[in-house]
Amino acid sequence: MAESNFIDYVKILCRSGKGGAGSRHFHRAKYVPKGGPDGGDGGRGGHIILRGNRHMWTLLPLRYQRHVFATDGESGGAGRSFGKDGEDRIIEVPVGTAVFDADTGAFLCEITKDCEEVKLLRGGKGGLGNWHFATSTNRAPRYAQPGQPAIEKAVVLELKLLGDVGLVGFPNAGKSTLLSAISAAKPKIGDYPFTTMEPSLGIVNYRGDKSFVMADIPGIIEGASEGKGLGLRFLRHIERNAVLLFLIPADSDDIKRDYKILLNELTEFNPELADKSRVLAISKSDMLDDELREEMSAELPEGVPSVFISAVTGQGLTELKDLLWREINSEENQVKQTMTHRDLDVRHRVEEEDEFIFHQDDDEQELPEMTDQDWEDEFWDEEDSVNN
């Protein structure tokens, strides 16, 4: 996977800019012996902003940009002049990117629309200059607010492909063959396990003027939710799919057992996947006669719409499209569009990314996160000490 351009998981270090300090300057001019305080306010620190970009399909650019730092705000100046605000840093990501705290694994935010912006880290506010604190009893305040500190956080970005239908099946179940048969996608097809090494999308035309998106992921094996095979790394891509299409070949020893294994791996990864609409397709059905097809129909899982198909001969593909289109646009499915993201745990992480070490200067210390109220309390405590 190191040589692939499809990167769907990356860990980066972000830091917003710190606010500039307020000025304690006093007006000095000829014939103006008591000009009074005129120190300006400090500038705001730069924000770290995420922006969705529908033209991106991978997190590859961030693989080579591990540190994203906004600039600091400048200090205030004389004549009540404001300090310059720090420059924001905008991180463009593909639509469908979820963000997690790298330390705790907690879900932070997600980007689901093109040009959607989310303020990941807020820049520190600039401090007020001393002219704000001049009163009738204290006409020459010799203090000003410091700027708020920067916020530093390591985050994990996960890309989850946005597709209407997600293909689920064991290796060599015929997922890539089906995708190539009903869409213009050209995934790699081979007669050996794990032919598909990375997810792929295909646009399926339906009834002339309609279409939906189908996502193919590498084959799932029993134990994938515990880290076996390739399925675990790519299971995240079917979390956003509206409908899950289970693909089981007709030569399977026990279709019902295989279906239960696949469903169990999905629910172990994310329990919410059990609530998604499901369709079962029996692939490679061109090898079955009518009698065998009737016998197998009686043994299929109950309560799941099913269809016999053959991507080679085209058997059942029109019926499959009708069934998928009906499930995608069903009222029940429209209600389930929102999704609660599961937090990252050890099983869901990519080892080489978690072991990535951020090189920082030894004299840099971790800055505490403080609320606006904390800074107001600290400032007024400082002012009381000065007045006393």
* The two structure tokens encoding residue 202: 């295909």
Q: Is the pLDDT of residue 246 over 70?
A: yes
pLDDT band for position 382 (cuts 50, 70, 90): very low
Of 291 and 333, more confident: 291
Q: Quote the pTM value.
A: 0.73
Question: E strands within 243-314?
Answer: 243-249, 277-283, 306-308
Question: What strands lie across the sheet with 306-308, from one edge to the other?
Answer: 200-206, 210-216, 165-169, 243-249, 277-283, 306-308
Mean pLDDT of 225-241: 65
Of 360 and 20, more confident: 20
* The two structure tokens encoding residue 169: 């099946």
Q: Which pLDDT score, from 0 to 100, does residue 333 have?
A: 65
List, for residues 309-330, the tens digit of each pLDDT value. 988 888 889 999 999 999 888 8
CA distance 247 to 222: 15
List, for residues 106-126, the tens digit of each pLDDT value. 999 999 899 999 999 999 999
Phi-psi domain of 314 (left: phi exceeds 0; alpha: psi -120 through 50; beta: other): left
Q: Is the pLDDT of residue 226 over 70?
A: no
Tell me the β-bridge partners of 277. Answer: 243
List, for residues 142-191, the tens digit of each pLDDT value. 999 999 999 999 999 998 877 788 888 888 777 888 888 888 767 655 55
Mean pLDDT of 127-150: 92
DSSP 13-34: EEEPPPPPPPP--B--BTTBTT
Residue 347 identity (one-letter amino acid)? R
Residue % of the chain over a pLDDT of 90 = 35
* Mean pLDDT of the residues in the chain: 82
Nearest 5°: phi and psi at 366?
-70, 130
